[in-house]
Amino acid sequence: MPTNKAIAIVKTYKHPKTKLTTKNPNYPYTVVNRFLRYVQIDTASDPNSNTFPSTQKQLNLQRVLYQELLDLGLQEVTLDEFGYVTATLPSNSYQPNLPTIAFLAHVDTSSSVNSENVKPIIHPNYQGQTIRLPANPELVISPETNPELQRMLGYDIITSDGSTLLGADDKCGVAAIMDALNFLVTHPEIPHTTIKVCFNPDEEIGRGMDKLDLNQFQADFAYTFDGPGVGLLEIENFNAAEMKITFFGRNYHPGYAKNRLVNSLKIASEFISSLPKKLAPERSSRRQGYIHPLEIQGNEEQTTVSLILRDFAVEGLQYYRRLVQSLAQKASSQYPGSQLEITYTDQYQNMLTSLQQHPEVIQRALQAYKKLGIKPKLDYIRGGTDGVHLSNRGLPCPNLSCGQHNIHSKTEWTSVQELQTTVDLLVEITKV
């Protein structure tokens, strides 16, 4: 009989043998206890902050990671002025010319949902039931809305108590990287390549890689661990750009405005209304791109519309740019005396361009999945990641699964077995 019995977690958890892989059946995984400790540290970033990192509380976890890396005996352990924690585990192999591989995960969580006083709960031996969250009984995690739960029979599901998010995004990745390092340090008989690690702030607000010095953090290629479920290898993402259209009108007192007033707010409204509905993000999915107005600010005299453009193909992005420009000019032309100004800024590019020049990055991950008996899925991201920005800067960096589900919500969850499998994946990637 399915049960909703759960175990509130404060400090420790004794793991069962993993149900996903058996590559390290005798290894006492520490990933779950690390994860449970990390999620209880509030690390929300702040999109409205001008500092870097955007919140000082992110450093509370960074200091913990810094000390744990020192305790493991890693080299070049640093916590820099921008809140990046980096370290190196040198190769223990005599084989020459091995690549240096970097692993990255971000410590910040979304500011959209409460992240203070996270109380993680383990629901052991899941048997297909609806999971109820004790602090918010109206919130449930059901197989109907979470079909991946149907593949989790016998797994141990981790949630919050329903009053906060869990923090699986991306403390799953942080905990898995730390546990993989722990495994390699305590198993020196396993030959591995040189490993660089980086735990960074502010990914959730798009600034995660802004201050990382790649001249200091040198690697041949890298992987971010910031993806859902198990078996995912994300190698593509949107090409991204921002456009700002400023409409200039002519203001007069409305009591004397006849044949004089040119209201820039009305021009902006005409422009927004003219954007094709079929190109809106709420109408797009899979590999379809979109044009998305983000913000409108102004008055009768001057109004600025900010938009983002997204498409997997460069040609698609160029088409959207021409279309937006044409529609803006058409709207302005209907109001004699108005003027407009258009700015266009590239934000990031599809990382596939970089990864295609370094096929070994993809092949190494595929081979690791194969060794674990996991069928990988090559996929794309309808957005961007820290790995996208690194790839655009010359460090090829696809994104891998680490067990996240329902991210940025109070129904966020992961599983013990997915966390353990992520550790196995990390170890396989590093093996010589």
pLDDT tens readout for residues 96-129: 999 999 999 999 999 989 999 999 999 999 999 9
CA-CA distance, 261 to 241, in Å (whole number)?
33
Interval 81-93 mean pLDDT: 97
Residue 28 clears pLDDT 90, i.e. is over it? no
What is the full DSSP assignment across 336-395? TT-EEEEEEEEEE--THHHHTT-HHHHHHHHHHHHHTT---EEEEESS--HHHHHHHTT-
- How is residue 290 written in tokens? 């979109």
pLDDT-based confidence at residue 18 (cuts at 50, 70, 90)? very low
Residue 16 clears pLDDT 80, i.e. is over it? no
Residue 141: strand pairing partners: 131
Q: List, in sequence order, every beta strand (DSSP E) within 135-186.
A: 140-141, 157-159
Compute CA 35 distance to the chain's CA centroid, rounded to the nearest angstrom. 17
177-213 pLDDT per residue, tens: 999 999 999 999 999 999 999 999 999 988 999 999 9
Q: Which of 42, 46, 68, 108 is labelled catalytic?
A: 108
Taking CA atoms, 204 is separated from 15, 46, 63, 238, 429, in Å, by: 30, 9, 20, 17, 26
Residue 41 DSSP symbol: S
Residue 24 clears pLDDT 70, i.e. is over it? no
Class of the CATH-defined domain 239-348: alpha beta
Phi, psi of 404 (to 5 degrees): -80, 150
Q: What percent of the chain has pLDDT over 70?
A: 94
Compute CA 201 distance to the chain's CA centroid, rounded to the nearest angstrom. 11
Considering the chain, tell me which residue range(s) the CATH 3.30.70.360 domain(s) occupy: 239-348
203 is catalytic: yes
CA-CA distance, 191 to 322, in Å (whole number)?
53
pLDDT-based confidence at residue 60 (cuts at 50, 70, 90)? very high
What is the full DSSP assignment across 86-103? EEEE------SSPPPEEE
Residue 260 CB coordination number (10 Å): 11
220 is catalytic: no
Residue 262 DSSP symbol: B
- Residue 28: asked if its preceding bond is cis (omega within 30°), the reply is no
Considering the chain, tell me which residue range(s) the CATH 3.40.630.10 domain(s) occupy: 7-237+350-430
278-310 pLDDT per residue, tens: 999 999 999 999 999 999 999 999 999 999 999
What is the C-alpha R_g of the chain?
A: 24
pLDDT-based confidence at residue 432 (cuts at 50, 70, 90)? confident
The CATH fold of domain 7-237+350-430 = Aminopeptidase (3.40.630)
Residue 25: the pLDDT is: 53
Residue 395: the pLDDT is: 95
Residue 228: strand pairing partners: 404
168-179 pLDDT per residue, tens: 999 999 999 999
Residue 232 near residue 136, CB atoms below 8 Å: no
Phi, psi of 147 (to 5 degrees): -60, -20
CA dihedral 31, 36, 37, 42 (to 10 degrees): 130
pLDDT-based confidence at residue 26 (cuts at 50, 70, 90)? low
335-348 pLDDT per residue, tens: 999 999 999 999 88
Q: Which of 203, 236, 386, 412 is labelled catalytic?
A: 203
Q: Which helix (H) or strand (E) segment is 297 a member of?
A: strand 290-298
Interval 313-317 mean pLDDT: 94
Q: Could you tell me which of 250, 168, 177, 222 has the C-alpha nearest to residue 351?
A: 222
- Biggest CA pair distance of the chain: 86
